[in-house]
Structure 1
């Protein structure tokens, strides 16, 4: 037994240390009593959760567990190093975000100088401007930025195919305001491959001549201004996994490095002109691991290019639009808070928080205020920026970072084997990969194994709709944009239309059998399920008085054996056209079943069809 010094907090130090093997044996014993006989060494696998990309969340992580020992023995998990030094896992800069916190970067797609100024006066530190069709006209940049101190607030452009025009206009604004080239800050946002992913249309030709010229100008004359953005959001927003998002960003970055060095820039100059944009989701650990893995992978690319010291990846994290919902949008405040926390802990230098009403249209002043204050609270009140890489050293985070890095590298290598990022975009291969991933995730969403609070779980049928002015149309024509709530949103829209046409929502009568202790659990489950499809559950009174055309039996398995068939017969006699049962089991008179893990979207869609709700 290890003897520890007496510090007055001995706790369990007097007991012999438990081993990993002992824990496995105890777990296997518990599993055997539940009918699952597995060898001790496989007990962890039974309790593990399979994630996307072949990743697995294990029930226990230790310094000397078998999984961790295997990684150490194989040499596949290198030392994370020190912040600001290769492989940059812990941070891209030695100080991380501890100086002033991360850059609070808010997006603007409307030419409204008052809103821009309000953001900057209340915590925002840089501007992300959507320019061109569906955004701010390039000629309006001077007016939009008229009261902005351009030597203090960096400006990042997102202009798609209009990048050369928008960049020239911004540089002209700098010149007219007397901003010296060395004082200009921001990013001109050139991203030909990202624009092609969004729109399906290629521009700037082979070798990206206009982009190379713009990059050379920044490298030679504007030291505080980068020229290129590697935007991975199109791949995330098309339903891609974390590894696919990272792999696509690596392939895009490598394509730009090839073009820039072929155009005369040094490797160090080319690396210094790139900024990477990633999605931050409410899955905080996966987001933290993704940002850490991204830095490690890009450092590997820089090392292969002969410039390991220049491989620090500059990261801009944006709260995911895939996770945002139109129903119960207030919950989005919680989602974006978790995502922002993860982005900050993961080491992103800049963070954009989408307003909670992002899925509904143009945000109002309240939504924008909450969005920018999310970062302020996490930095100033939660003190997240006081520590560099606060998740570092967690056996779970380090393991997840390593596994995700390997999965992303494999996807990246597949893109390179198929000719590079431009080739897989134009062949449709990457679209197929992303669609396959989204199809699998859609199954989990439909079965509510990935719950969406306020939509597929705990919906509120009586909520007052939040109405916003329409937002400018996003660029389209390339990869699709998906949202987690889209299948349930379609069901709720059918219910809304029925309510508008008839004055009432479709209803289902929940027939509770036996005492509350027997039926409460399944009655609550059924009510939650049907409301997710916009179907109002009726739990009081009789079926005849409910106004419903269908009924669902709710009770325990024991009472079903005694009463399900007679209850179903009674409901039929009372006029129920369809009788379902919450749970499993075959009973005369029961037409269908609802249960945990059922395909809720299919069940609810079929129910609405039977009710004549189009």
Structure 2
């Protein structure tokens, strides 16, 4: 901690010192007003937020929240960055992904701010023979190329290296990654492929192309299967260690082997968790390098991709906000390069506008928000340093369990890893279903009359291995049922919101109920009477006081008018005639699915 000189300008000198215990007492006093009778540390705990991996975010962090010394940027343990200058020279790399042979789109991106290319090559992307056409006009000595070719890595790498030689690019000017990732491919497809060609490519890069790497340690398959931040870290470490073993057995030194790896992580809209994850990843890989006897080779090269799991198909425009926060977190966390997925990525091939917004997200954060002018801007925050440490420990423990069970390949093939990831996703799915983790435009503030965004289908993604999940999947299924009903009948399933009393009494709960039912594609009707609404089910909306007086009689009147099912918006109580309750924290997916079933909306 920095000690300020005694210059007579002491900060907050006119205020008495306040202790942590005094703050806790004040918190306890506020909580008592809401019905929670807790004291001391329990009062602080009541305001804590549970995260995945057993972590908790507390409401207050102080200098007493110790964490290991993060060191200096560019020096082990590299928590504050793998390079001494960080991203202050030009910002992080802007890397755009292309999965179709569209040379015009590639050149358009490079002319408008993209600094490197991520090309999906092979059966699920650009044909290997088309690589030269896609890169026609690209200055290969200026724009690094990263391949993602699956089991076709050897022919794709051979073709790319041929292009470098054909166009006269000096070997020392070549930058990028050939994309060998056997374990990542196996995670995606369930099909292993031989490591020997990848090891040969790594030897060729080490001997003749000092700026070119041969392998990618891709943690996205585990993130996209529902894994937590610690599981993403643990699997990336286990994969990286497996590749080190293979490369050193093939004759490379530890330093040479480390220099052949680039790590790929996901950035989510949980900005502080993303920042902490990238800082923790560098610390953990530095520990691996140290254990291998090459501490100076432990600077992890990080390629970060905005999370596909968080992207929604409904109201996709909100994805621009999600990717902006994720990109900010990636930049602040020290990513070397960032790929911003276009806002329409979940719908198919992005159009020119979507690609422009994606690349400009990084440009604005670098050039206009000046985010890259500060090295490790979150460093020194007691909260971020503590979260980095706790996440690093959780990630290291998961890595140890993988190694204990035989390594990354073994846990992939035994099914243990699939089970671990599924368990994590099942817990998160409960939060999503209960809207404890809200999805704007989907589970919160849905817009039933929005005009669908149509895109051309994207090439099929590899399948057969770990599943790919999305946060919106349960709600998307409900909305799809509603859409099919609309197409078949000309109208959506409806529910009548029966408001009781003045607007001040019912507006809040009517708004809540309207949002909840629309999340399942059910149209709320408030105008007119129940008989005129065309609905078969109804939801009472009012205050607790008016429920006591009128809920029973209102439910009886509505049943007499033909209502088959009566909801009440509020906490469960004893109201005769009411069949079910909707409230903050209820299982919205279960409620909506059962409601559609009763309404005859087919699955």
Per the shorter chain, which TM-score range? over 0.9
1:575 partnered with 2:562 = yes
1:22 aligns with 2:10: no
Q: Trace 1:192-341 onto structure 2 (pairs within 5 A).
A: 192-204=182-194, 208-341=195-328
Q: Which residue of 1 aligns with 2:58?
A: 58
Aligned residues: 598
Partners in 1 of 2:24 and 2:315 — Cα distance? 43
2:156 to 166, 171, 176: 166
Residue 12 of structure 2 corresponds to: 12
Question: What residue in structure 2 maps to residue 548 of structure 1?
Answer: 535
Give distance in 1, aligned partners of 2:34 and 2:83.
50
Distance 2:501 2:334 in 1: 55
Give the match for residue 497 of structure 2: 510
Distance between the aligned counterparts of 2:597 and 2:219, measured in 1? 39
Residue 33 of structure 1: CA displacement? Answer: 4.5
Whole-Å separation in 2 of the counterparts to 1:578 and 1:27: 43
SS at match of 1:78: coil
Instruction: Tell me how far apart the structure 1 counterparts of residues 569 and 146 of structure 2 sit (CA, whole Å).
Output: 53
Distance 1:12 1:545, change over 3 A: same
Deviation, structure 1 residue 301:
0.3
Q: Give the drift of 1:183.
A: 1.6
Q: Secondary structure at the match of 2:246?
A: helix
Q: 1:378 aligns with which of 355, 365, 371?
A: 365
Aligned residue in 1 for 2:329: 342
Q: Does 1:182 align with 2:172?
A: yes
Q: Does 1:596 align with 2:589?
A: no
Q: Distance in 2 between matches of 1:313 and 1:301?
A: 11
Q: Map 1:13-162 to 2 at 5 A.
A: 13-64=13-64, 68=65, 72=66, 77-162=67-152
Q: Give the secondary structure class of the aligned counterpart of 2:347.
A: coil
Who is 2:574 aligned against?
Answer: 586
C-alpha displacement at 1:12, in angstroms? Answer: 3.1
CA distance in 1 between counterparts of 2:196 and 2:456 reads 39
The corresponding residue for 1:606 is 594
Q: Distance in 2 between matches of 1:3 and 1:586?
A: 66
Measured against aligned partners, the alpha-carbon deviations of 1:286-314 in whole angstroms (never above 9, x if no partner) come to: 00000000000000001101111110000
Q: CA offsets, 1:568-590, max 9 Å, x none?
A: 01111111111110012121111
Check conservation: 1:184, 1:225, Cα contact below 8 A. Answer: yes
Deviations 1:141-168 (A, max 9, x none): 1110011000000000000111011111
* Distance of 1:3 and 1:592 partners within structure 2: 65
> Matched residues in 2 for 1:341 and 1:353: separation?
11
Mapped contact 1:448–1:600 kept (Cα < 8 A): yes
- Distance in 1 separating the partners of 2:188 and 2:112: 32
Once the two structures are TM-superposed, the CA of residue 11 in structure 1 deviates from its matched residue by 6.7
For residues 163 and 267 of structure 1, what CA distance do their matches in structure 2 show? 23
Shift of 1:537: 0.3
Instruction: Tell me the distance in 1 between the aligned counterparts of 2:5 and 2:114.
Output: 52
Q: Does 1:430 align with 2:421?
A: no
Asked if structure 2 preserves the Cα contact closer than 8 Å seen for 1:131 and 1:166, the reply is: yes
Contact 1:4 1:13 in 2 (8 A): no
CA displacement, residues 160-214 of structure 1 (integer Å, 9 cap, x when unaligned): 111011111111111111112222111000000000000100110xxx2211111
In structure 1, C-alpha distance between the alignment counterparts of 2:540 and 2:36, rounded to whole Å: 31
| Pair 1:3–1:388, CA change in 2 (3 A) | closer
Q: What's the CA shift string for 1:338-369, capped at 9, x where partnerless?
A: 00000000000000000000000000000000
- Kindly indicate whether the alpha-carbon contact (under 8 Å) linking 1:84 and 1:91 is maintained by their aligned counterparts in 2: yes
DSSP-derived class of the 1:359 partner: helix
2:470 aligned counterpart, secondary structure: coil
In structure 2, what is the Cα distance between the partners aligned to 1:343 and 1:153?
A: 21
- Does the 8 Å contact 1:447/1:598 carry over to 2? yes
Give the whole-Å Cα distance in 2 for the aligned partners of 1:236 and 1:597: 26
Aligned counterparts of 2:13 and 2:314: Cα–Cα separation in 1: 51
SS at match of 2:342: coil
- In structure 1, runs of 5+ residues without a counterpart are none
- Aligned equivalents of 1:519, 1:94: Cα separation in 2: 59
* Partners of 1:136 and 1:443 in 2: CA distance: 38
Alignment match of 1:458 (pick from 439, 445, 452): 445
Give the secondary-structure state (helix, strand or coil) at the position aligned to 2:131. helix
Task: Please give the secondary structure, in 1, of the residue aligned with 2:319.
Answer: helix
Aligned to 2:386: 399
Q: What does residue 562 of structure 1 align with?
A: 549
1:109 and 1:437 map into 2 onto residues whose CA distance is 30
Deviations 1:202-248 (A, max 9, x none): 110xxx22111110110010111000000000000000000000000
Residue ranges of structure 2 left out of the alignment (5+ in a row): none
- Report the TM-score, using the length of structure 1 for normalisation: 0.96
Please say which of residues 454-463 and 571-580 is displaced more in the overlay. 571-580
Asked if residue 481 in structure 1 is aligned to residue 468 in structure 2, the reply is yes
Q: Name the SS for the 1:414 alignment partner.
A: helix
